[in-house]
Amino acid sequence: MTMKSTGDIASHRLTQEQLACEFADVAPLLDATAAAAAASRCHYCYDAPCVQACPTSIDIPGFIRKIGNGNLKGAAVDILSANPLGGMCARVCPTEILCEGSCVRNHQGDEPVKIGALQRHATDWAMARGVALFERAPESGRRIAIVGAGPAGLACAYRLALAGHRAVIFDAREKPGGLNEYGIAAYKTVEDYAQREIEWLYSIGGIEINIGQSLGRDFTLDGLRKQYDAVFIAFGLAGVRELALEGEALEGVMNAVDFIEQVREADDLASVPVGRRVVVIGGGNTAVDACVQSRKLGATNVTMAYRRGVENMSATWAEREFAQTNGVSIVTHANPVRLVGDNGQVTGVEFERGGERFVIEADMVLKAIGQTLVPVGIDRELLTLDGGRIVTDENRQTTLAKVWAGGDCATHEGLDLTVQAVQDGKLAAASIDASFELTAIKAA
């Protein structure tokens, strides 16, 4: 994105040292003493509500007890056997509405156990030491094609490889990881963590990845079905919703996901363009990430504008508080009606609230109003779509034989979260594996 003088690169106001500080790990690792103290607060509930709240059903009391006993390897086994991307999920999961939000200590006038931090403590310990935790089953001779190297695709590939099958991943991007690599705020996953976790996944063996390969351009779904024993579609939501408003083509207007990707992939943060006055339209976690990163890059004023009330925002209360702590103003019940510009450059956004109109000045506007399925390479007559998602059953099997789907591109219960995508990948892998066993029984 190019920006004219009114929206100059604001990050030049920050030194490299300041930028490094701004984008340091937002939740640094617990040391051994702090981890032991945090673990000691767990009640080890028999019918732990935290486990029920976790989409991947990690044995949370079990791994916390092991941390308390100094058995970090055992804790890592408990976590990663249920969630192979447990390290990333410990960093990005909205624990405040999942496991920690369900902790019984919340009902005792106390703070919840730091489950996310403890999960990261154990998984980081294991990965830093290259500890072998699992052994792959003997080769089965089965090959499964996986379209998309995001959380769902990676989790599915790992579980299939663990079962002795060969997982062949195809991804259109230059790096695997999906949103874990391109779509999460840089201060949440520092030191190239997404790629380091993927290297750990590959270490199990039996996983092959082909980058720069896109469905509908480089291969077809029909071709995959003929060449492989099963196919798992997990290419996410590549489309971005438009505002469909006057002025949307002005300079300084861009999609929030593209801005986040620029920050994540930048070799030099000072080179990332950001306005002095930034307006982010949307109320989800992507909007929050875009807002906070704008501030951290040097924007003077950042406003998150949402068309409904705060209670309708998909961003969690913790994310909203984090944004406000970082100097972001939140404006609710603000419905955008047009983008204002001067000489081709955006200068503000006009909103309507209760019949009255007002303008928030801006030299950069980021759109974060949701993403959509781009069904390239998908035959709508063979694969059923509903609400812009691929329809699947409870095992993530589609209406087309030999094809499963999961992650954001598919229908599922729960929110579009990394941890939910991982669970989709797990369910699909188990279903694919079971289908092979059923085929073998029928053949016998």
Q: Are 143-238+373-443 and 240-370 equal in CATH topology?
A: yes
Residue 83: how many other CB atoms lie within 10 Å: 27
* Prediction pTM value: 0.93
Residue 416: how many other CB atoms lie within 10 Å: 19
Mean pLDDT lowest among 18-27, 171-180, 327-336: 18-27
Q: How confident is the model at residue 5 (pLDDT cuts 50, 70, 90)?
A: very low
Residue-level pLDDT at 6: 40
**What average pLDDT does this structure show over 350-370?**
96
Mean pLDDT lowest among 4-18, 57-71, 236-250, 425-439: 4-18
For the beta sheet containing 166-171, the strands, ordered from the edge strand earlier in sequence to the opposite edge, are 207-211, 166-171, 143-147, 230-233, 403-405
CB 321 within 8 A of CB 283: no
Residue-level pLDDT at 230: 98
CB 409 within 8 A of CB 373: yes
**What average pLDDT does this structure show over 369-384?**
88
Share of the chain above pLDDT 70, in %: 96
Q: Tell me: the pLDDT tens digits for 25-83?
A: 988 789 999 999 999 999 999 999 999 999 999 999 999 999 999 999 999 999 999 99
Radius of gyration from C-alpha coordinates of the chain: 23
Would you call 374 exposed, middle or buried from its count of C-beta atoms within 10 A (0-12, 13-18, 19+)? middle
* AA letter at 253: V
Residue-level pLDDT at 437: 80
Cα within 13 Å of Cα(428), Cβ side:
38
Q: Tell me: the pLDDT tens digits for 132-184?
A: 899 999 999 999 999 999 999 999 999 999 999 999 999 999 999 999 999 99
Q: How confident is the model at residue 382 (pLDDT cuts 50, 70, 90)?
A: confident
Q: Tell me: the pLDDT tens digits for 79-111?
A: 999 999 999 999 999 999 999 999 999 998 899
Residue 444: how many other CB atoms lie within 10 Å: 5
Domain spanning 32-129, CATH class: mainly alpha
Mean pLDDT (the chain) is 93
Domain locations in the chain?
32-129, 143-238+373-443, 240-370
Neighbouring residues of 112: CB distance < 8 A, sequence distance ≥ 6:
100, 101, 103, 105, 106
Q: Is 203 helix (H, G, I), strand (E, B) or coil?
A: coil
* pLDDT surpasses 90 at 113: yes
Mean pLDDT lowest among 6-10, 270-274, 372-376, 410-414: 6-10
Q: How confident is the model at residue 10 (pLDDT cuts 50, 70, 90)?
A: low
Domain spanning 240-370, CATH class: alpha beta
CATH architecture of the domain with residue range 143-238+373-443: 3-Layer(bba) Sandwich (3.50)
* pLDDT surpasses 80 at 305: yes
Q: Is 431 helix (H, G, I), strand (E, B) or coil?
A: helix
Q: How confident is the model at residue 8 (pLDDT cuts 50, 70, 90)?
A: low
As a whole number of angstroms, the distance between CA 444 and CA 441 comes to 5
Q: Provide the β-strand partners of residue 230.
A: 144
* pLDDT surpasses 60 at 351: yes
Share of the chain above pLDDT 90, in %: 85
* AA letter at 125: W
Q: Tell me: the pLDDT tens digits for 183-211?
A: 999 999 999 999 999 999 999 999 999 99
As a whole number of angstroms, the distance between CA 283 and CA 320 comes to 9
**Which segments of 247-376 are extended strands (E)?**
253-255, 277-281, 301-305, 328-331, 335-342, 345-353, 356-361, 364-367, 371-372
Q: How confident is the model at residue 7 (pLDDT cuts 50, 70, 90)?
A: very low
Residue-level pLDDT at 443: 65
